[in-house]
């Protein structure tokens, strides 16, 4: 996490949006929860602020007047791993996939609720906490002991195949984050480029995993589908 958090005790958020009303609303809302908020109304200003302010997190609109938000993501990712949450009216699957594949951490479409934005923000920041050397990853009744490669639901051990285990671990390490099909295929099968050829393997593995971890696989409460984009392990606050 950025050093500025420990120095000042507050999360520093850069809000990038060309609409003044949106910036003002977010600044008022986020400030009321104790966050320190900075603003930028163009892509150029966002890149300058990302260097001078050193934000801990960036909330970014894609429809900027000078530089497209996708290009802003790419430029930031060349020099920093600062978490980026997209906040945009663009709701096409292709736009979401492009943003996430370029390095965005999450994607919300306008209109949005403050509660949903705060939940996504907390989920992103939790992923940046230093990993426990004897890590046990948990969500709800599910628990994964990394050292022992053991997965349980309550007191019951769950028998997972190696691929299912790796897939669940990937989601547990990214709780609350949308992972695109291509990101998952690249991480688990090392086949991000041959997308169409093995997408069916991902779907079958997701189905098998749900059958083992979900109380009701037909109505999943853990592993959620983001239609046309990928999957998300639901964040629990």
Q: For residues 170 and 200, give the distance between their C-alpha atoms in angstroms, rounded to a whole number.
A: 18
| Chain-centre distance for alpha carbon 178 | 5
Domain 3-126 -> CATH class: alpha beta
- Give Dmax over CA atoms of the chain in angstroms: 55
Fold designation for 136-233: Arc Repressor Mutant, subunit A (1.10.10)
Distance CA 202, CA 205 (A): 5
pTM of the model: 0.69
| Digitized pLDDT (tens) for each residue of the chain, 237 residues in all | 443 343 334 789 999 999 999 999 999 999 998 899 999 999 999 999 999 888 989 999 999 999 999 999 999 998 888 999 999 998 888 899 999 988 898 999 888 889 889 988 888 877 665 555 447 788 888 888 887 888 999 889 999 988 899 999 999 888 888 999 988 988 888 655 555 667 888 999 999 999 999 999 999 999 999 998 999 998 765
Helix (H) or strand (E) holding 122: helix 114-126
Q: How do the domains of the chain map onto residue ranges?
A: 3-126, 136-233
C-alpha dihedral (201, 206, 208, 213), degrees to nearest 10: 160
Helix (H, G, I), strand (E, B) or coil at 210: helix
Can you tell me the distance from the alpha carbon of 139 to that of 86, in angstroms, rounded to the nearest whole number? Answer: 25
Measure the CA–CA gap between 234 and 97, rounded to whole angstroms.
18
Q: Do domains 3-126 and 136-233 have the same CATH topology?
A: no
- Which residues does residue 137 pair with via DSSP β-bridges, in sequence order? 144
């Amino acid at each position: 996490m950025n050093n500025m958090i420990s120095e000042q005790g507050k999360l520093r958020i850069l809000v990038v949006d060309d609409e003044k009303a949106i910036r003002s609303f977010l600044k008022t809302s986020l400030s009321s929860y104790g966050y320190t908020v900075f603003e930028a109304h163009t892509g150029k200003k966002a890149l300058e602020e990302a260097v001078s302010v050193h934000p801990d997190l960036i909330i970014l609109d894609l429809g900027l007047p000078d530089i497209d938000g996708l290009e802003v993501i790419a430029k930031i990712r060349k020099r920093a791993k600062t978490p980026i949450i997209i906040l945009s009216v663009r709701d096409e699957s292709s736009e979401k996939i492009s943003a996430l594949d370029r390095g965005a951490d999450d994607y919300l479409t306008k209109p949005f609720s403050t509660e949903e934005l705060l939940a996504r923000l907390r989920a992103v920041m939790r992923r940046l906490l230093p990993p426990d050397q004897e890590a046990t990853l948990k969500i709800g009744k599910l628990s994964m002991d990394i050292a022992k490669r053991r997965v349980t639901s309550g007191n019951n051990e769950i028998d997972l195949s190696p691929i299912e285990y790796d897939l669940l671990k990937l989601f547990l390490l990214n709780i609350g984050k949308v992972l695109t099909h291509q990101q998952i295929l690249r991480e688990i099968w090392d086949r991000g480029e041959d997308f169409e050829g093995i997408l069916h393997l991902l779907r079958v593995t997701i189905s098998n995993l749900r059958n083992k971890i979900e109380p009701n696989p037909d109505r999943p409460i853990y592993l959620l589908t983001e239609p046309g984009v990928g999957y998300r392990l639901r964040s629990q606050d």
